[in-house]
């Protein structure tokens, strides 16, 4: 799972770090960088797709002339903070080795053999028509530096690969530059380098293994910005990936409901979340052969998804995301969900929070959401509160910052217990205290 993401000179962050939990909440006034964090994660996801830097930042067109990837919101021209030449993103990934379920069906880590991988990439995005370039790339296994690879383009047009086995033993290899593409995804190049140079077999095996771990983890990031009209469209049978806007909702749910246990889970939550408008699901094939979801109302009336309400569709899509994996683990996925509370009635919000908090415990899912809803904050469990962070800007400073709510001040936790985070949020206390503590310094 993602444990930490660090941003340097990325969009409106000069230097900021976000700690992530199973369920992470991002709050903060408009334009403080919540979605920019999503963009940074999307950049990392782009790497796992094997694209080069120009494609990740710009766009990727596939053979046959279709758009495969939309690039990073805002493009590359304005991606670095205040036109700095480079930006860097560092992600810490945490791998608990094995899971098992306790009696309540919650996941617990079985072995203690857990480890961390830290991947960092620094990029010059190349403004005014220049191509983006890799400035530096590194992968550490454990903080104590058991293994580290560093990829540094040097002045002579060559890349330097430095492999550390521990903090002292170092091997440096020079190889022809390929600064347009992260080394991480160039397994051919890595294999060539390893076969032409004298590198301990077990080390090259380790490097290969850890690189794949990182890529695998990043490949399971998904970004949901749900649009009701996209969710209403019928979808092709067998399509089991929920689109970023909620596309394929009908066929994804159909796939999930083929598993009886999952179907029971889905219906249970659906009935609780939308007691009037959906107690059962049916899937019909339309005249074009596509799948169309039909909601069975409590009174037996059938409502095709085309006529379902926006709020119901959002519930359905979130349920689909949360159940769209088998309970056989580990099968990590991480969703970044924009404005979780959007279009949902406050009385249903508590169930939605309960659903997410339950699912992240039962599965290998990680959920990151942004919200403006104080109501939602009122409903969070203590554990989720611990993973709630504020994005904010100070009056006289150009950059935005990120702070875990519980780290704001030593009294914050007590204050939240007494007043609830919701009240602190709606009164603007969170932003004010940051301003005050800045003045104190």
Ligand X SMILES: Nc1ncnc2c1ncn2[C@@H]1O[C@H](COP(=O)(O)OP(=O)(O)O)[C@@H](O)[C@H]1O
Contact residues: Mg ion, CB under 5 A:
34-35
> Does 30 sit near ligand X (CB under 6 A)?
yes
Interface residue with ligand X, options 8, 20, 24, 33 (CB under 6 A)? 33
Q: What is the DSSP letter of 407?
A: G
Interface residue with ligand X, options 8, 16, 18, 35 (CB under 6 A)? 35
Name the binder of 36 from Mg ion, ligand X, none, CB < 5-8 A by kind. Answer: ligand X
Interface residue with ligand X, options 12, 22, 151, 388 (CB under 6 A)? 12
Using CB positions, name the residue nearest to Mg ion. 35
Name the binder of 248 from ligand X, Mg ion, none, CB < 5-8 A by kind. Answer: none
Contacts of 391 (CB under 8 A, 6+ apart): 26, 27, 28, 32, 33, 34, 37, 400, 401, 402
> What is the rounded CA–CA span in Å between residue 305 and residue 264?
20
> Does 43 sit near ligand X (CB under 6 A)?
no
**Residue listed under structure tokens 């949020």:** 425
Structure tokens, 425: 């949020």
Identity of the residue, 35 or 250, whose beta carbon is nearer to Mg ion in the bound complex: 35
Identity of the residue, 37 or 319, whose beta carbon is nearer to Mg ion in the bound complex: 37
Name the binder of 335 from Mg ion, ligand X, none, CB < 5-8 A by kind. Answer: none
Nearest-approach distance from CB 320 to ligand X, in angstroms: 24
Q: Quick one: which of 241, 235, 369, 362 has its CA closest to 305? A: 235
Alpha carbons within 13 angstroms on the beta-carbon side of residue 166 total: 1
Identity of the residue, 78 or 212, whose beta carbon is nearer to ligand X in the bound complex: 78
> Does 32 sit near ligand X (CB under 6 A)?
yes
> Does 274 sit near ligand X (CB under 6 A)?
no
Identity of the residue, 35 or 324, whose beta carbon is nearer to Mg ion in the bound complex: 35
Name the binder of 76 from ligand X, Mg ion, none, CB < 5-8 A by kind. Answer: none
What are the two backbone dihedrals, phi and then psi, of residue 128, each rounded to the nearest 5 degrees?
A: 50, 50
For every residue of 323-345, DSSP letters joined together read: HSS-SSS---EEEEES-TTTT--
Nearest-approach distance from CB 369 to ligand X, in angstroms: 12
Identity of the residue, 397 or 427, whose beta carbon is nearer to ligand X in the bound complex: 397
First to last CA, the chain: 35
Alpha carbons within 13 angstroms on the beta-carbon side of residue 441 total: 7
Helices (H), 153-200: 187-196
> Is residue 57 within 8 Å of residue 71, measured between CB atoms?
yes
Identity of the residue, 9 or 232, whose beta carbon is nearer to ligand X in the bound complex: 9
Cross-strand pairs, 141: 117, 147
Binding mask 381-420 for ligand X (x = CB under 6 A): ----------x-----------------------------
What are the distances in angstroms from CA 400 to CA 216, 253, 390, 426?
A: 30, 39, 10, 20
Name the binder of 21 from Mg ion, ligand X, none, CB < 5-8 A by kind. Answer: none
Q: Quick one: which of 402, 400, 405, 350 has its CA closest to 373? A: 350
Nearest-approach distance from CB 392 to ligand X, in angstroms: 10
Identity of the residue, 37 or 256, whose beta carbon is nearer to Mg ion in the bound complex: 37
Interface residue with ligand X, options 36, 86, 124, 364 (CB under 6 A)? 36
> Does 28 sit near ligand X (CB under 6 A)?
yes
Distance of CA 392 to the CA centre of its chain: 20
Q: What is the DSSP letter of 83?
A: G
* Segment (H or E) for 332: none
Interface residue with ligand X, options 67, 82, 286, 397 (CB under 6 A)? 82
Pairing state between β 107-109 and 13-19: unpaired
> What is the rounded CA–CA span in Å between residue 260 and residue 275?
21
Interface residue with ligand X, options 23, 51, 81, 269 (CB under 6 A)? 81
From 24-32, 136-144, 272-280, 315-323, give the range in contact with ligand X by CB under 6 A: 24-32
> What is the rounded CA–CA span in Å between residue 1 and residue 312?
30
Name the binder of 30 from Mg ion, ligand X, none, CB < 5-8 A by kind. Answer: ligand X
> Does 232 sit near ligand X (CB under 6 A)?
no
> What is the rounded CA–CA span in Å between residue 363 and residue 322?
9
Identity of the residue, 75 or 238, whose beta carbon is nearer to ligand X in the bound complex: 75
Identity of the residue, 35 or 363, whose beta carbon is nearer to Mg ion in the bound complex: 35
Identity of the residue, 364 or 389, whose beta carbon is nearer to ligand X in the bound complex: 389
Name the binder of 32 from ligand X, Mg ion, none, CB < 5-8 A by kind. Answer: ligand X
> Is residue 353 within 8 Å of residue 377, measured between CB atoms?
no
Tell me how crowded residue 143 is: count the other CB atoms within 10 A of its CB: 9
Identity of the residue, 35 or 274, whose beta carbon is nearer to Mg ion in the bound complex: 35
Q: Residue count at the site for ligand X (CB under 6 A)?
A: 17
Alpha carbons within 13 angstroms on the beta-carbon side of residue 161 total: 26
Residues engaged in binding ligand X (CB under 6 A): 11-12, 28, 30-36, 74, 78-82, 391
């Amino acid at each position: 799972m993602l444990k930490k993401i660090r941003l340097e000179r990325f969009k409106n962050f000069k230097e900021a770090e976000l700690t992530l939990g199973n369920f992470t909440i991002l709050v903060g006034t408009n334009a403080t960088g919540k979605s920019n964090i999503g963009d940074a994660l999307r950049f990392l996801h782009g790497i796992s797709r094997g694209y080069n830097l120009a494609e990740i930042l710009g766009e990727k067109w596939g053979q046959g002339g279709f758009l495969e990837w939309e690039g990073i919101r805002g493009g590359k021209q304005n991606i670095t903070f205040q036109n700095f030449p480079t930006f860097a993103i560092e992600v810490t990934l945490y791998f608990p080795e094995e899971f098992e379920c306790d009696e309540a069906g919650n996941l617990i880590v079985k072995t203690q053999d857990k480890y961390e991988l830290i991947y960092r990439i620094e990029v010059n995005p190349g403004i005014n028509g220049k191509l983006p370039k890799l400035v530096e790339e590194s992968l550490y296994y454990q903080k104590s530096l058991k293994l580290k690879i560093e990829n540094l383009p040097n002045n002579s047009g060559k890349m330097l690969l430095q492999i550390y086995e521990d903090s002292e033993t170092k091997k440096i290899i020079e190889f022809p530059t390929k600064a347009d593409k992260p080394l991480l995804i160039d397994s051919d190049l890595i294999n060539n380098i390893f076969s032409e140079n004298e590198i301990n077999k077990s080390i090259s095996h380790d490097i290969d293994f850890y690189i794949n771990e990182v890529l695998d983890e990043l490949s399971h990031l998904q970004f949901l910005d749900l649009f009701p009209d996209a969710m209403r469209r019928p979808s092709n049978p067998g399509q089991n990936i929920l689109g970023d806007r909620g596309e394929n909702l009908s066929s994804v749910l159909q796939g999930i409901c083929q598993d009886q246990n999952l179907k029971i889970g889905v219906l249970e939550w659906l009935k609780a979340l939308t007691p009037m408008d959906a107690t059962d699901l049916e899937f019909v094939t339309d005249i074009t052969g596509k799948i169309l979801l039909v909601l069975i109302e409590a009174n037996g009336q059938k409502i095709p998804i085309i006529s379902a309400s926006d709020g119901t569709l959002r519930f359905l899509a979130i349920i689909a995301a949360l159940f769209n994996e088998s309970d056989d683990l580990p099968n990590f996925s991480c969703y970044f969900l924009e404005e979780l509370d959007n279009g949902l009635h406050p009385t249903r919000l508590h169930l939605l929070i309960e659903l997410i908090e339950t699912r992240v415990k039962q599965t290998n899912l990680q959920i990151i959401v942004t919200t403006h809803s104080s109501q939602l904050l009122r409903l969070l469990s203590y554990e989720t509160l611990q993973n709630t962070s504020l994005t904010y800007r100070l009056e006289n400073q150009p950059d935005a910052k990120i702070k875990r709510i519980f780290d704001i001040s030593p009294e914050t936790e007590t204050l939240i217990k007494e007043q609830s985070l919701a009240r602190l949020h709606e009164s603007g206390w969170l932003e004010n205290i940051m301003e005050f503590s800045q003045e104190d310094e």
